[in-house]
Structure 1
């Protein structure tokens, strides 16, 4: 144990080490290592605080945010689908500086849809032609006001198929779809997006899926970075059956619609970490405190042992 003595005592010009002092020095090494490790873990760990409050000011509706859309219809042709946008503010354009594209599904998208809750089977595709699958993707800038957009069967195709009856409709149409991604603003990795990787397999083949989205503004603050704005989504879903669509005529077509609105609430997500200089100071305090304490205890015990030996 003598080789672990960190407090050698000079005795008549000779450094003396003892087993007792070496034992306490070893204990000091272990305690200091554990405390230093705990300080390092605490420094690396990021503290997260979230607060919800009412927005301080009304957002300018002329400001826009990016909306990313990526949806696949494995049983439909692109010519049979239509896109439509509406805004709650009639004097505002619904989308600006962006575009959503209709294209054929690629192999990766087909693989994803095949492994989803519905199989990629063309036996119930539109009778007007062999369906190869259609994907709608792109980014558009939408105003910070409520609105909706929809991806549905065109009125001409829907009207022609509706005339054939329910049985023919079920054989000739399947609007099952897969939502790869639907994101407002920049994506934030720690926030779960309920509108990502959503598979909607429609058993009847015909129906309208309606998503009601509440968009929640969120301010992010990370250590050493500027604040960044993103948006979280709260979602509810409902389904309109084929019989209801047939009664509405051309007022509603099968497909999927997204109704969205912005909440007046603001979520503040703040991440903080201990200051580096404070971390260095804590390390110095740990090392100094451990060695001073061990030195005092060890010195007292060594001195007491020496006094006992002299009495003997």
Structure 2
């Protein structure tokens, strides 16, 4: 009964003839099927990446505070992100530097605040040998400078960070420049004391500036290992404006999912003469503003289900033999037809 349902025609083994053409077809089809099988296995193991855009959702936060530490911590996680700064000013002293977060200056007592693990969340210290070497200076010869390190929690809204010369140091520098201008030192080539001019040189080296968690697949970071050298007749006095656009990126990997931020950076330098004419309120140094885009990116890595995977494997193995057989048969029949016409 079951034999009657067998529709597959199987010729006798002794009637089948083996040829070199058939062996070549089998070899080519087997090789192609094997390569496609390995490629399909690699794709299944590594997974496929899907990208999508969506509007970022705002997180409602109550205006009135709460006394529950757990709820306060939860609101802090939802409404704030971590900002890490590591910047070195090779020519400036730390007592002449001022840091402002959204217009509010940080006091010296803020730099003594430590986290629960005993590490300083903010530090304004003399650069160590590693920082100077990374910035391109010889640690044995260069003995000045100021390195700012900070780990802050800032709201996930537009903000502004500035690391500039203090108002007192800026006033002294302006008086010094006015005296040098009256004596004609600034206009003369090579004039002025190099050590005096370097005392207000705002050239800086950005080791890293990070907002939130770093995107794992980012190839380069525009706010990492960034040197900004200022050379002008004022001895390196200028203000670098950096505008950062943060793109929220939801990254979903194999083991975890997290919210990261990709960065788009543009910058320009305001020279001292333009600072006076344009009425810039900030002192020379570094000013960085950041904002979040309303569009967010979803980056997900996943595998196909097992049924789709098995269907692909069967299609690859069977399709390779059928395709190679059809192509070879077409060539053989075409050659036979041409030979018949010639005869």
- For normalisation by structure 2, the TM-score amounts to 0.65
Which residue of 97, 103, 109 corresponds with 1:81? Answer: 97
Alignment CA distance shift 1:35-1:266 (3 Å):
closer
Moved more, 23-32 or 143-152: 23-32
Correspondence 1:164-243 to 2 at 5 A: 164-165=176-177, 167=186, 170=197, 172-191=199-218, 192-204=220-232, 205-222=236-253, 224-243=254-273
* 1:29 partner SS: helix
* 2:133 partner SS: helix
Query: Where does structure 1 lack aligned partners over 5 or more consecutive residues?
Result: 1-6, 89-95, 124-129, 302-312
2:307 is the alignment partner of 1:272: no
Distance of 2:249 and 2:327 partners within structure 1: 54
* CA-CA distance at 1:162 after TM superposition: 1.5
2:84 is the alignment partner of 1:68: yes
* CA-CA distance at 1:100 after TM superposition: 2.2
Distance of 1:74 and 1:64 partners within structure 2: 31
Distance of 1:294 and 1:254 partners within structure 2: 71
* CA-CA distance at 1:99 after TM superposition: 2.5
- Larger % of strand: which? 1
When the two chains are superposed, the root-mean-square deviation of aligned CA atoms in Å is 4.0
* CA-CA distance at 1:146 after TM superposition: 2.0
Alignment CA distance shift 1:171-1:55 (3 Å):
closer
Distance of 1:50 and 1:294 partners within structure 2: 35
Which residue of 84, 103, 119 corresponds with 2:125? Answer: 103
Mapped contact 2:84–2:151 kept (Cα < 8 A): yes
Mapped contact 1:53–1:267 kept (Cα < 8 A): yes
Alignment CA distance shift 1:111-1:59 (3 Å):
farther
Distance of 1:261 and 1:249 partners within structure 2: 24
2:172 is the alignment partner of 1:160: yes
Name the residue aligned to 1:26.
27
Mapped contact 1:59–1:144 kept (Cα < 8 A): no
Mapped contact 2:92–2:202 kept (Cα < 8 A): yes
